[in-house]
Chain A
Amino acid sequence: AQKITQTQPGMFVQEKEAVTLDCTYDTSDPSYGLFWYKQPSSGEMIFLIYQGSYDQQNATEGRYSLNFQKARKSANLVISASQLGDSAMYFCAMGSSGNTGKLIFGQGTTLQVKP
């Protein structure tokens, strides 16, 4: 069975500093995708970044980068130069094998950016 684990219920970071949100996963599928979503207090789910299991390079999207370590089954999100607007819940998710494409989510990490 597939599983996503986020072990940090809450994190604090000083504005303008970088922060790493941890995510580990477990799957026996050779092909999968890893996603990060941001959920602000308003509730919507905002797609941030995607990493395919066969991608050779770590994904980057602006201030977001994904530290993908396949052998360790980890896909940590790095946010550089934190902004106050980054305060939100962050979910790591994995796309399942097969054509259904369902996402399995971790428990989430609440990030608070301090001014």
Chain B
Amino acid sequence: EPEVTQTPSHQVTQMGQEVILRCVPISNHLYFYWYRQILGQKVEFLVSFYNNEISEKSEIFDDQFSVERPDGSNFTLKIRSTKLEDSAMYFCASSEIGERNEQFFGPGTRLTVL
């Protein structure tokens, strides 16, 4: 069964460093998303991406964040200068259609900023 994959599973970084989180969505899906979950809290939407551009972003997704689909398979989230409060689980998700189809989530990347 096709699945969303994410690498790395765990990333530890120093405050101020850049990190790139990688995702491979399901191959025939057209919509891609990043969410984050701070430990013990609810899942929060960061950004959605369709047709090679951002379709919506949340207040969390400030200038420190960027997304890219560098080739036909990868979807990346870059945090330019990490802060302590960026420590969270980051989930990538993809779906075939926008709002009415289920989103399939990757296993997540746990980011720890020291």
Contact = CB atoms under 8 A, between A and B. Distances in A.
B68 interface: no
Interface stretch (A17-25, A30-38, A74-82): A30-38
B98 A99 contact: yes
B45 A104 contact: yes
Contacts, number: 77
B33 A101 contact: yes
Contacts of B98: 98-101
Nearest to B33: A102
Q: Is the interface of B mostly helix, strand, loop or mixed?
A: strand
Range class of the A interface residue count: 20 to 34
Contacts of B101: 33, 101
A47 B105 contact: yes
B56 A100 contact: yes
A112 B99 CA distance: 31
Interface of B: 31, 33, 35, 41-45, 48, 50, 55-56, 58, 89, 91, 93, 95, 97-108, 110
Given A95-B99, A101-B99, 12 more contacts: A43-B89, A47-B102, A47-B104, A52-B100, A97-B99, A98-B56, A98-B98, A99-B50, A99-B55, A101-B33, A103-B33, A103-B45
